[in-house]
């Protein structure tokens, strides 16, 4: 008894070994017209295997591409579509560029750095004051993700001033940040689901 694992690897396993055997047989047919009829029959069988995909655009085209792949591009017939090239099967996608800019303080992150720059360039007024307050509080929460000890607001003010090259200069009198206990309480506060199942 011969197991499938002992046989050659199928180029497209989703069609199964029976379809692959049909393609292999088609390659051995010498008469071109008979070989064309055999290929058309194989395509119809392949299409019947995935009836839910019949409405997908270019479904037939994909089937003929798959037939060419299973025949290792050796099937000499009149393909009704332009078949995919063998070299295109092994092409690698373009490398996605990774951000190369450095983060000054990793505990704040890149997104928060962008928010700080936006706040620094924002027109003066009440909206800017609210935005700066929001950013400063977010900086404090992000800092506490890395440092669970009490965070001095002066440290947040100094970092904000450093980020903006002095454009934003805060102190304890001009702005009031969230208390450390309030931030910690929000993190440990159970959700509604937790309360329901903890009884």
Q: Same domain for 83 and 140?
A: no
Could you read off the pLDDT of 188-198 as tens digits, one per residue? 555 555 444 44
Assess if residue 66 is contained within a domain.
yes
- Among the candidates 90, 121, 149, a domain finishes at 90
Structure tokens that stand for 91 in this block: 């092409």
Assess if residue 103 is contained within a domain.
no
| Residue among 144, 164, 152 nearest 104 (CA) | 164
Assess if residue 23 is contained within a domain.
yes
Q: Same domain for 115 and 173?
A: yes
Q: Same domain for 115 and 82?
A: no
136 close to 177: Cβ distance less than 8 angstroms: yes
How many separate domains does the chain show?
2
Higher model confidence: residue 25 or residue 147?
Answer: 25
Q: Same domain for 80 and 116?
A: no
Question: Which residue range is the domain that position 154 belongs to?
Answer: 109-189
Q: Produce one character per residue of 66-89: b if its CB has 16 or more CB atoms within 10 Å, e if not.
A: bbbbbbeeebebeeeeebbeeeee
CA 60 – CA 37 distance, rounded (Å): 16
Per-residue confidence (pLDDT) for residue 27, from 0 to 100: 95
- pLDDT (mean) for 173-192: 67
Could you read off the pLDDT of 108-162 as tens digits, one per residue? 888 888 888 888 888 888 888 888 888 888 888 888 877 766 678 888 888 888 8
Q: Same domain for 128 and 183?
A: yes
Q: What is the pTM of this model?
A: 0.48
Alpha-carbon distances of 195 from 63, 87, 164, 198, 199, rounded to whole Å: 55, 59, 43, 5, 7
Could you read off the pLDDT of 46-73 as tens digits, one per residue? 999 988 888 888 899 999 999 999 999 9
């Amino acid at each position: 008894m011969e197991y499938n694992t002992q046989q050659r690897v199928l180029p497209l396993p989703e069609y199964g070994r029976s379809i692959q055997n049909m393609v292999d047989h088609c390659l051995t047919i010498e008469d071109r017209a008979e070989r064309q009829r055999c290929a058309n029959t194989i395509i119809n069988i392949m299409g019947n295997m995935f009836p839910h995909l019949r409405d997908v655009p270019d479904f037939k085209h994909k089937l003929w591409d798959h037939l060419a792949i299973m025949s290792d591009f050796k099937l000499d017939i009149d393909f009704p579509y332009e078949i995919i090239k063998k070299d295109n099967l092994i092409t690698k996608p373009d490398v996605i560029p990774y951000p190369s800019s450095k983060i000054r303080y990793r505990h704040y992150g890149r997104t928060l750095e962008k928010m700080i720059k936006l706040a620094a360039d924002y027109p003066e007024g009440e909206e800017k004051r609210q935005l700066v307050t929001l950013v400063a509080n977010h900086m404090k929460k992000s800092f506490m993700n890395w440092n669970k000890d009490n965070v001095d607001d002066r440290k947040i003010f100094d970092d904000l001033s450093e980020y903006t090259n002095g454009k934003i200069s805060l102190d304890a009198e001009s702005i009031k940040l969230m208390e450390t206990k309030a931030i910690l309480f929000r993190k440990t506060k159970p959700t509604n689901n937790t309360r329901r199942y903890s009884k």
